[in-house]
Each structure stands twice: as C-alpha cells, then as structure tokens.
A and B are shown apart, each in its own frame.
Chain A
Amino acid sequence: MGQQLTRRDTLRALGAFTAAGAFDWPAIARAAHEAHAAAQSAAVAGAPLTYTLLGAADAADVEALTSQIIPSDDTPGAREAGVTYFIDRALGSFFAHWRPTFMQGLNGFQAAVRAAYPQAASFAALSSDQQIEFLHTVDRTPFFEQARLLTGCGMFMDPSYGGNRDNVGWKLLGFEDQHTFEPPFGYYDR
C-alpha cells in the first residue's frame, strides 16, 4: 500500500491530475516506471535474510527442491533469486491460505524421501543425482505442483515480494521491466 501511495504521490507531483489535454503521457509512464523501480529496491533492501516460518531443516529441503526446479548453472537459478525466502515470506503472509496444504505436502514429501533413502538424513542431504532421481517419482503430485508454482512466483514475480532478486528471473527470460516500448519490437517486425 505504501508503495502505491508513493507512486501516486509522484504522479500527483508531476501534475498528472491537471486538466485534460495537458497530460504528458510518456512522462507519466516514465514516472510510473521510476516509482515502480523505487518500490522494488526499497522492498528488496528490506527483504528478510532469515526464515520466519520454515524451520532450518524444512528450509534446507525447500531450498534443495526449488533449486532442482530451476537449477543454477552459468546463470542464476532459484537459489540466487531468493525463492526459499520468498516462499517463507509468502506462506506467512499473502499466501497464508496455501500454507496448510504446503506444509502437509512437505511432510509427505519428506516421509517419501525417508522411505526411498532410509539412510539419508533429508532430501537436502541427498546428492544432486539422487535428488533428481527421487523427484522423477513425485513430480506429478499436488505438492510438487504447488512447489513448482511457488518457485515460478519466487523466481519471476515482482521483486517487491522478496524473490526475483536483482531481477535474475527476468534476466533469465530476457524480459525488460519497462512501462513504454518503441517499435520495432522484434526481428520480424523491423
């Protein structure tokens, strides 16, 4: 809400609410973008560095799982985007209504890991190859679907929610976060 007010105030200051005809739309769009970017960086600066909902063991498993969904290679993956922090924050606030199914699903997931690898301490403790092998056995479950959706949100949604840090998700996609574009837009419409 504070971000919205900031942005509206910026636009008010620019005179966006003066008489019709005097509107400078490119300027308004630019202001919109600047306010948007300011809100994002303010939010990222305040992003949590500790988990508030997930315990350390659960957080480690979620981190391992989401890092297999979007792995890190020569470019950042879910880990660098802060996806686990995003999930922790989301389930404790705006996605609180998803929390019961997620936590229940995570328990079931961990139980299935113990059954498949009785000697392993946790999913996070498995080797990457073992993790991938195990995920192939559960990747059609509702829990995996929910984890995949949350990973997508944490990777690609607006950074103000605590994920997509440094816009790494948008950089992966090649998406420019801008409020106006000029043609040509691509190779084929030049």
Chain B
Amino acid sequence: MKTYRPSETVDFVIVGSGAAGGVLARELANARLSVVVLEQGPRVYPTDLRHDELKNWFLGGLAVDPIRNRQSFRRSASETAVAPLVRPPLFYARCVGGSSMHYTANYWRFREIDFRERSVLGEISGTGFADWPISYAELEPYYTKVDWEIGVSGQAGLDPNDSPRSKPYPMPPVRVKSSGVLFERGARKLGWNPVPAPLAINSVPYGGRPACVHCGFCHGFGCEVMAKAATAWTTIPQAEATGNCEIRAESYVSRIETDKRGRVTGAAYFDASGKEQFQKARAVVLAANGGETARLLLNSAGPRFPQGLANSSGLVGKYLMFNYTARVNALFEHELNEYKSVQVTRILHDFYDSDPKRGFYGGGGLDCRIGPQPAFWAIRTASDGPAWGKGYKERLREFPRSMQVSCHTTSLALESNNISIDPTLKDAWGIPAIRVTYRDHPDDLAMARWLQDRGVEIMEAAGSLRTTKGPVTESSLAFHLLGTCRMGNDPAKSVVDKFHRAHDVRNLFICDGSSLVTSGRGQPTMTIQALAFRAGEHIARYARRNEI
C-alpha cells in the first residue's frame, strides 16, 4: 500500500474519511492525484466490532466520548456552555469510515423542492433560509452514482411524488419486517403511500460484500459482515488499490496552515503517539463533518484570516442544522421482535412538502423501527410512561411487541445556531474545543409535533393497542451536522462555491454535511455523498488543469 512522507508535497490532503472523505479519496486517487487522508480515529476491522451498547453509546467505542473529545453546549449566546458528562452533543463516529460506519444507512434522496424551496415559499424572516446554487437535476447523476457505486437497496416507481431518477436501484429492498407490515397497513388505510426504505445495506450480495444477516445492530454500530456500506468497506479500499492514496488513521488534524499569499500549505496533526506532524499538500479538502470542519477553520485563524480560515463571510460555523426526530411508540398484540434485522423497512414521504395551510414552515418523512437496541430502548422507554417501579417493569416486558414511528423533519438555518470555539475548554490533545449553541426554531418543533400526530394516526389505523408520543423538547444531541460552511454563489453569503471551493482560498475545498444549504427531511448522508462524488469530479479537473 502506498505511503507518503509528511515532508513530501502530495496533491491533496483530505481531512476525514467518512461518507464524504471516503468518496473524495477514491475520486481524486482514481484521477491519478496523490492523496493522504488524515483520519482522527483508528482503522477498525469487522472483527473488532461488537454488539456492545455501553461501549458504543457511552465509552466512545466508535464515536466521540465525553472525556477525550470534549464539546460544550448551550441554548443561546447569553448562557455559559457546559460540557455534558454522558455524551458530547455532536455525536459522530471517529474511525476510518467516519459516521458511515455507525449510521442507520437510510438513503433518502433530497427532492427537487429542497434545492429551491426559498424561491417557492418566500423569505422566512429571521432565518438564513436560502436556495441552493445547484438543482436536483445537476445532482441526480451523482445520486445514481451513490446508488450503484456505494450500493443502495430499494424500489423505485412506487412513490408518485418521488423525484425523477435516471436508473433503478441496483438491489431489491431488504425484506420487510413486522413494523413495516403494520406501518404500511395503517398508512394505506389512511390513503397514503408507504414505500420500501432505500438503504445503503445489501439485500443481496453486492460490490463484493455479502447480504445482511439481520443482526439488528446498525444504528450506532459497525456492520460485522460489511453488508452496511461504510466507506471503510467501499470506496476507501478502492482508493488504496489505485496506489495513489494513503489512509493515515489516528492522525488528528489541529490546524490548516497558510502561507503569506493566503494559500493553504498542508495540515498540522497529532499522530498516534501524540506527536505533532505536518503533511504538505498542494491543496486541502475538508470533509471532517459539519462540526469538526467548522471548528478546524475557526482554529486555523491567522494574521491573514483573523476570524478563521475561509471566513470572510462570517458564516463558518453558522446555520447549524440537526434535523428533528419525534417518536411515536406503539404496542401491538403479537410479537414484532423489532430488534432483529435492519432498523427500517418502510417509509412515508406524503408530508415532504411544506404546506402554508399548517401555519408554519416544515416538511418531513416518517419511518418505522424499534428505535435503539435493547439496553438503550429500555432506558429511553421511561420518557413516555412510568419511569421506574412496577409500571416501568411491565413496560419493559412489552419490548418484543413494541415499535416506533420516527418522524424526521426540517431544521431552519439560523445564525444563532452555530459552532464556535469554547473560550476555555480544550480536548485531550489540547485543541480548543467545539462549543455548540443551538435552539430549535419554533417551526421545527411545530412540524415535529404535527408529523408525530400523523404517526399516531398510522399506528392507530394499524390496530395498535396503545400509542404514546415521545417528548418533543429542544434538541441537545445531534447526529446530523449540517449547514456550517454552506455553498452559494455570493461570497458574502456563503463559504464555498457551487463546486465546493472556498470563496476565500483557491486551494481549499470543503465538502461534507457543512455544505448543505437546507436540511432536507432527515437522512442527509445520501446527499452528502452525492455532493462528494460531484465535488471529486470537479476538484480533480481543477487539479489536472493546474487550477488549485
């Protein structure tokens, strides 16, 4: 496998090896460009993975942990941010493959409306609601690329409102579970259009990887048989096979350096032994996720860039969007055993569009699942019923007969929701820590409650014995880290251009969740990855033409 010396000037350093970084690595390496991917976490193999909820949710098994990867949280700028003891507020995976390792792998495309919603609906005052600089049609070929090159199972043509697609899915949907049967039954009675869930999980052997063995540990876990398409098993080995790409694990980037002309020169990082290194590069691509990318830019401030690298707009870190997920819990007469197999097998997009008649902005999508795995389910089930004692224990016995409808909704872009650098807190490497400031827009919560009522209707129509609503309270934990370096045509109102080049720095590119202008309706990874395929093509072209 190819390796490079840090003193060697490679064509590209990519920071992050997740959904976006893993794809960019392959696209650039395929174009015969030399690439070093710096990944803060370790390389993890299928045989390292365990069904260990405590380790994965509390001890940083794959993800950030509250001891080494400290982050602080507050709701508004008037509060002092506090670092939570249980879990950092931005919960992402730090390993080769990034959060594509531990995601649920729901692969929803955004729709045409997502890219031009501001034009259709008009301004929403006090928000950064905006159109994208690209259309669905421009991104469609790359969505199809994700379907076929990453591997997405699903069934096209069933949803009358689905966006146009140039090719069918390469695999049939994963077999329906009991939750899917009930969800579909209820939704159909109401005249709605439930469809099989598109998943980046193999329903049949595909891409040299086996089909799902139905173990049930997708959400928050790595796939032991590689049926779930983490980039660690898809594009990353392909990038390495080109002979042009080194994946350097346990390499935690602290700073992007710039020269007197304002060009980036490479990335400073801590290696596995904690020693500082510097990898020289002709250009840098940031794909470290919507939290870490913004933090890295802000921590890379210097004389030429006093408010952070690539931040002349002042928008680096701003417009953070989480998506909201409200829950409906339902009990049925017979066993569903939802802890088995993939998390989701049916979804519903009938309420995708925002409807002014509702009196607030928002749209969403519903899916069905158990929610988290058993221990976490048991802990969380106290939130909408008895929290302890006999009643709680009775509730726990209902686990096999329970399911959940998840109601995923939009988040509006607000400047007051953002990533900044905590003035005092540092992580275990001494790097100034992320401070998250976040309070859901009232419309986000209104939409979540509205969609939750639709979830209740579906479960009641399906014959649920008892349906309860989970609490809809302000967010304090996020898996979707979006919007913090948004793309746009106007350098005063965005951080990167429509090809992901930083407006302020010619040889700096940014492509990950931070690029998103709007939040979609939950499930952003498909779009992040389509953007990465598209960005990879354009960035490779720039490099070949010596335009970096």
Q: Which residues of A contact B (CB under 8 A)?
A: 4, 7-8, 11-12, 16, 20, 23, 25-26, 28-29, 32, 36, 68-71, 73, 77, 94-95, 97-98, 101, 132, 135, 139, 148-149, 152-153, 155-158, 160-161, 169-170, 172-175, 177-189
23 contacts between A and B (CB under 8 A): A4-B48, A8-B48, A70-B392, A94-B54, A97-B85, A132-B389, A148-B379, A153-B54, A156-B374, A158-B55, A172-B396, A173-B400, A174-B397, A174-B399, A174-B400, A179-B51, A181-B341, A185-B177, A185-B178, A185-B340, A186-B334, A186-B338, A188-B181
Q: Does the CB pair B389–A69 fall under 8 Å?
A: yes
Chain B, range 143-195, C-beta contacts under 8 Å to A: 175-178, 180-182
In the complex, how many angstroms separate the beta carbon of A96 from the nearest chain B beta carbon?
9
- 4 closest A-B pairs by beta carbon, nearest first, are A187-B334, A186-B178, A156-B375, A152-B379
The distance in angstroms between the C-alpha atoms of A121 and B245, with both chains bound, is 68
The distance in angstroms between the C-alpha atoms of A68 and B215, with both chains bound, is 33
Q: Which residues of B contact A (CB under 8 A)?
A: 45-48, 50-55, 58-59, 66-67, 85-86, 175-178, 180-182, 208, 210, 213-216, 224-225, 332, 334-341, 374-375, 377-379, 382, 387-390, 392-393, 396-397, 399-400
The distance in angstroms between the C-alpha atoms of A25 and B53, with both chains bound, is 23
Contact with B52, one of A8, A77, A158 (Cβ below 8 angstroms): A158
Task: Write out the residue numbers on chain B whose beta carbons fall within 8 Å of the beta carbon of A172.
Answer: 393, 396-397
The distance in angstroms between the C-alpha atoms of A68 and B386, with both chains bound, is 12
If A28-B224, A172-B397, A183-B175 are given as contacts, then 8 extra A-B residue pairs at C-beta distance below 8 Å, sorted by A number, are A29-B224, A97-B67, A135-B388, A178-B215, A181-B214, A184-B178, A186-B340, A189-B177
Contact with B393, one of A28, A77, A95, A182 (Cβ below 8 angstroms): A77
The distance in angstroms between the C-alpha atoms of A36 and B217, with both chains bound, is 14
In the complex, how many angstroms separate the beta carbon of A64 from the nearest chain B beta carbon?
13
Q: Does the CB pair B392–A69 fall under 8 Å?
A: yes
In the complex, how many angstroms separate the beta carbon of B329 from the nearest chain A beta carbon?
15
In the complex with contacts A25-B210, A183-B341, A152-B378 CB distance below 8 A: yes
Q: Does the CB pair B334–A156 fall under 8 Å?
A: no
Task: Write out the residue numbers on chain B whose beta carbons fall within 8 Å of the beta carbon of A184.
Answer: 178
The listed residue with most A CB atoms (<10 A of its CB), out of B53, B335, B337, is: B337
In the complex, how many angstroms separate the beta carbon of B87 from the nearest chain A beta carbon?
11
Task: Write out the residue numbers on chain B whose beta carbons fall within 8 Å of the beta carbon of A68.
Answer: 388-389
The distance in angstroms between the C-alpha atoms of A132 and B390, with both chains bound, is 11
Q: Does the CB pair A175–B224 fall under 8 Å?
A: no
By beta carbon, the residue of chain B nearest A26 is B213
Q: In terms of DSSP, what is the predominant structure of the interface of chain A?
A: helix
Q: Does the CB pair A175–B225 fall under 8 Å?
A: no
Q: Does the CB pair B399–A173 fall under 8 Å?
A: yes
Task: Write out the residue numbers on chain B whose beta carbons fall within 8 Å of the beta carbon of A160.
Answer: 52
Task: Write out the residue numbers on chain A whose beta carbons fall within 8 Å of the beta carbon of B387.
Answer: 139, 148
Task: Write out the residue numbers on chain A whose beta carbons fall within 8 Å of the beta carbon of B224.
Answer: 28-29, 32, 179
Contact with A152, one of B66, B335, B375, B389 (Cβ below 8 angstroms): B375
Q: Does the CB pair A158–B388 fall under 8 Å?
A: no
In the complex, how many angstroms separate the beta carbon of A70 from the nearest chain B beta carbon?
6
The distance in angstroms between the C-alpha atoms of A153 and B215, with both chains bound, is 21
In the complex with contacts A36-B50, A186-B177, A175-B388 CB distance below 8 A: no
In the complex with contacts A8-B47, A26-B213, A97-B85, A153-B379 CB distance below 8 A: yes
Contact with A181, one of B215, B332, B382 (Cβ below 8 angstroms): B215
Q: Does the CB pair A11–B47 fall under 8 Å?
A: yes
Q: Does the CB pair B175–A32 fall under 8 Å?
A: no
The distance in angstroms between the C-alpha atoms of A83 and B29, with both chains bound, is 51
Q: Does the CB pair A23–B47 fall under 8 Å?
A: no
Q: Does the CB pair B53–A188 fall under 8 Å?
A: no
Task: Write out the residue numbers on chain A whose beta carbons fall within 8 Å of the beta carbon of B210.
Answer: 23, 25
The distance in angstroms between the C-alpha atoms of A133 and B208, with both chains bound, is 60
Task: Write out the residue numbers on chain A whose beta carbons fall within 8 Å of the beta carbon of B48.
Answer: 4, 8
In the complex with contacts A71-B390, A97-B67, A179-B213 CB distance below 8 A: yes
The distance in angstroms between the C-alpha atoms of A186 and B336, with both chains bound, is 4
Task: Write out the residue numbers on chain B whose beta carbons fall within 8 Å of the beta carbon of A188.
Answer: 178, 181-182, 332, 334, 336
The distance in angstroms between the C-alpha atoms of A139 and B59, with both chains bound, is 26
By beta carbon, the residue of chain B nearest A140 is B387
Q: Does the CB pair A32–B47 fall under 8 Å?
A: yes
The distance in angstroms between the C-alpha atoms of A126 and B231, with both chains bound, is 56
In the complex, how many angstroms separate the beta carbon of B156 from the nearest chain A beta carbon?
23
Q: Does the CB pair B54–A185 fall under 8 Å?
A: no
Contact with A148, one of B46, B86, B175, B388 (Cβ below 8 angstroms): B388
In the complex with contacts A11-B47, A153-B375, A173-B396, A183-B180 CB distance below 8 A: no
